Amino acid sequence: MSKKKVPKRILNNPRYLAMQALVKIESGDAYSNLLLNELIASHEIPDVDKGLFTELVYGTTARKLTLDFYLKPFIKNMKKVDQWVKQLLYLSIYQMEFLDRVPDHAILNDAVEIAKAYGNQGIGKFVNGVLRNIQRSELPNTNEMTNKVKRLSIEASMPEWLINKLIRQYGFETTEQLAFSLLKPAKSSGRLDLKRITRNEAIKQLEEQGLDVEKSEVSPYGVVASKGAFAKTWLFREGTLTVQDESSMLVAPTLELTGSEKVLDACAAPGGKTTHIAQLLDDGAVTALDIYEHKVKLIEENAQRLGLSDKITTQIMDAQDVAQQFAPESFDAILVDAPCSGLGLMRRKPDIKYNKSTQDFKELPKIQLNILESCAKVLKSAGILTYSTCTIVKEENEEVVEKFLKNHPEFTLMTPKMNEKMSGYIKENLFQILPQDEFTDGFFISVFKKN
């Protein structure tokens, strides 16, 4: 990318920062959600522009294949266009086609100014010419496409191989619903410590701070906001509330804790489920593991903010080595929220759609099964082991469960503990929620009891 000194008025422009972020995401140097937080923290972005910046990065990433389809007819040789120029054009087309609140002339002016400041006058003229040509013309239409998979791939911006994979498991109609649902923005949701506050009390206090909040229908611990940020509230700062997706809140209660258990969270970072487990305990304790030191620190930070450090012990450890590090029957309950492809998170992390390959579905199930095998040995008799993932494919979910049960006849598959509404997503004792079902993250949960 350019080494040219860029004027300060451009440096903090949300469109310029969005272009920078999109280049890093495209190159695989950063995950969208982490990069956004980093750029917002390191630049003087006015509060009024933070929403636009976030919308541009997530929206452009989520619709990347659609935007590329729109742009190609207006450029003779895409291969010769620098990556930063492509991303500037993508985010400009995204604004013109999918955002109503910004007039086209403002979009074009900003794009040309950024192109000249970051590149040169020639690139500025090129960007201006392309965008004005698009403004005057009709964009290419998918209506003439006869291959319904290719058409869905362009319209919903999902790679064809992934669409075909999901069709084989769920059928075309469900896959179509899933793909388009990912283009809608994610909900803001938070988990409450119900030992410290009721949902009604929390909603009243959050509304006083300007949030538009209601009870989650997915989890009895959750609240959902259509307006406002939970992380800016004093309930968050004092540790009564933490940000967590609704479907993720369903996991800890499936361990059916009574309060005094010794629990292992084998793949714990960043600590959302670990802290939920700790909140369900009285005099019990949680041992939380992660393979990376910086991720273990995230667990510790979360535990400290929520006032749960006395109940949580962290260790740097590969969960596949649990049986070598702990004595047999060390724990009353174990959570394996396994490393996975993360396809259930595609709404919240749209770059996942483009970064996975068929190889992931060969390697990850081996790791998942290894972790389960290792954890099974350190669970006490009559103990509960919950296996969960934030993915939606059978290789990482149903097939792992099937192999584990085949290898371990001493375990019985139980019905996960859920409220009445969520119980509707349980089939053959396995819970699977898709991103379009309740507009949460896609999630899988299975529960085993050691006989």
Neighbours of 51 (CB within 10 A): 11
Query: Rounded to an integer, what is the distance from CA 352 to the centroid of its chain?
Result: 9
Q: Give the residue among 192, 199, 160 at the shortest CA–CA distance from 179.
A: 160
CB half-sphere exposure, 170, CA atoms < 13 A: 21
Q: What's the rounded Cα separation, in Å, for the pair 210 and 224?
A: 13
**Which position among 267, 340, 375, 390 bears the catalytic label?**
390
261 Cβ contact list (under 8 Å, min separation 6): 255, 281, 284, 331, 332, 333
The secondary structure of residue 258, as a DSSP letter, is: -
Contact (CB, 8 A) for 444 and 389? yes
Active site residue 390: yes
Measured in degrees and rounded to the nearest 5, phi and psi for residue 442 equal -70, 140
Single-letter amino acid, residue 317: M
Phi/psi for 30 (5° steps) reads -160, 150
Q: 48 CB contacts (<8 Å, ≥6 apart)?
A: none
Antiparallel, parallel or unpaired: β 262-265 and 285-290: parallel
Taking a C-beta distance cutoff of 8 angstroms, is the pair 15, 108 a contact?
no
| Per-residue CA distances from 105 to 24, 111, 170 (Å) | 27, 10, 44
Q: Where are the alpha helices (DSSP H) in 119-198?
A: 121-136, 148-156, 160-170, 172-181
- State the Cα–Cα distance between residues 293 and 316, nearest whole angstrom: 6
Angle subtended by helix axes 47-62 and 64-71, to nearest 10: 80
Query: What is the distance between the alpha carbons of residues 312 and 310, in angstroms, rounded to a whole number?
Result: 6
Tell me the C-alpha distance between 413 and 344, whole Å.
23
CB 99 within 8 A of CB 54: no
Token reading at 151: 């058409």
Bin 245: left if φ > 0, else alpha if -120 < ψ < 50, else beta.
beta
Q: Give CA angle at 197 (286, 442), nearest 5°.
A: 60
The residues assigned a catalytic role are 390
